[in-house]
Structure 1
Amino acid sequence: MAPETSTVTALDPQTLRDWMNRHEDLIVLDVRSAAEFETLHIRGSYNVPLPLLSEHTDELAERLGARVVLVCQSGVRAEQARQRLGTAGIGSARVLAGGVPGFAAAGGDVVRGAQHWDLERQVRMAAGTLVVGGLLAGKFISPKLRLLAGAIGTGLTFSAATNTCAMGKALARMPWNKTAAEPTAESAIRQLPAASA
């Protein structure tokens, strides 16, 4: 493994497992929604959903030490969180490669709860369904309805180019994704240990 520098941002699951056994100052932040966290999370991790982290970056950064690992489902949201924390002076944060599923597959200690589809899977299902629905409606109802497939494709292209996901944000607000209470800024910050001097 390459030496630790501020330019190395990915951390493999085995290294995280080793760090969890050796470093008491390690903080693992899971930036997924509360429902995703409830489904599967790394034992000992703290749930601070990305929108909450984005709104309260400076307050959270005050509680973080030098050894921070950010996790999500695949690494996309964790990388966004890493960039946000970097603007608040936490330049040493790492992103777990493979996300929580990769850590579980590597034999890491995880907690399994009520099963929910993760947000990324919901986005793929919604986008695919809308594209197929638009193509079928365009064939059987009106050719103009094929524009729905084009609009979804345009949205996905924009999502990839900007590393954002409007559909994911909309789906996160759906009732089935609210089965677990999202942490408040106060509860998220209070749960973190105070940074050691």
Structure 2
Amino acid sequence: MTTVTTRPTTLTATDLRDWLAEPAGPRLVDVRTPAEFAASHIPGSYNVPLPLLEEHRRELAEHLDDDVVLVCRSGARASRAESALADTGTDHLHVLDGGITAWESAGGDVVAGEGGWDLERQVRLVAGSIVLTGILASTVVPQAKWLSAGIGAGLTGAALTNTCAMGALLSRMPHNRRHEPTPEAVFAQLRGGRN
């Protein structure tokens, strides 16, 4: 049975905590990488990494007959997931504003485990390392400064478009895909009811 609410499409951590306390709370779909999800997630969340969600959005939408709150680190990937699922006609989607970061800041419960760095931290490490390497190398080979300029341009573009090509590439690295669920496993979990 489809449950359509009058709740806003963007929820604060407090709104979500109150809604989860109700008997007919929403499903939580966390679209971060499996490594990020393993590090910490909201209890009862399903991990459906954004690339898997985007590739299998139509099949996934068939299993989302309740209200769904999409969660990521800050809200950007969850907004992308919302757009991908909205294209399938799914209309009971919500995004946790500020993501898991806002949830934890508001004192929300998390399941903590061992996991890797979140994607944003990985991007900062890789981008910073490339910029530093470009600057140091430019003392010997002046053209190496353009490597740093390219990273700067990429980060500027990422901020303006609210996307991140480097983050997308890093999310496909083996250490971020450890324990990645298969589409079949995700569909089976969703058919089985709430976590």
TM-score of the superposed pair, with normalisation by structure 1:
0.88
Q: Secondary structure at the match of 1:141?
A: coil
Aligned to 1:174: 173
Q: Is the 8 Å Cα contact of residues 137 and 143 (structure 1) preserved in structure 2? A: yes
Structure 1, residues 143-186: CA drift from partner, whole Å, max 9, x if none?
100000111122223333443322112222334324x3101111
**Map of 2:16 onto structure 1:** 16
Residue of structure 2 in register with 1:188 after alignment = 186
Q: Which digits, 9 at most, give the CA deviation of each residue in 1:23-78, with x for residues without a partner?
A: 43511000001111000000001000000110111111111124110000011100
Residue 33 of structure 2 aligns with which residue? 33
Could you tell me which amino acid in structure 2 is paired with residue 50 of structure 1?
L
**Amino acid corresponding to residue 44 of structure 1 in structure 2:** G
Structure 1 equivalent of residue 99 of structure 2: 99
Corresponding pairs, count = 189
Correspondence for 2:154: 155
Q: Is the 8 A contact 2:82 2:94 kept in 1?
A: yes
Amino acid at match of 2:134: G
Distance (whole Å) between structure 2 residues aligned to residue 143 and residue 183 of structure 1: 46
Contact 2:37/2:115 (8 A) holds in 1: no
Q: Deviations over 1:123-154 (max 9, x none)?
A: 1121122112212211x211100000111122
Corresponding position of 2:60: 60
Cα RMSD, aligned residues only? 2.0
Cα distance in 2, alignment partners of residues 101 and 153 from structure 1: 25
Cα distance in 2, alignment partners of residues 126 and 104 from structure 1 = 26
Structure 1, unpaired ranges of 5+: none
Give 1:69-108 correspondences, 5 Å limit. Answer: 69-108=69-108
Q: Residues 19 and 25 of structure 2 are in contact (CA less than 8 Å); yes or no, is this contact kept in structure 1?
A: no
- Partner Cα separation in structure 2 for residue 106 and residue 156 of structure 1: 29
> CA separation in 2, counterparts of 1:191 and 1:115?
22
Indicate conservation of the 8 Å contact 2:28/2:46, yes or no: yes
Following superposition, the deviation at residue 194 of structure 1 comes to: 6.7
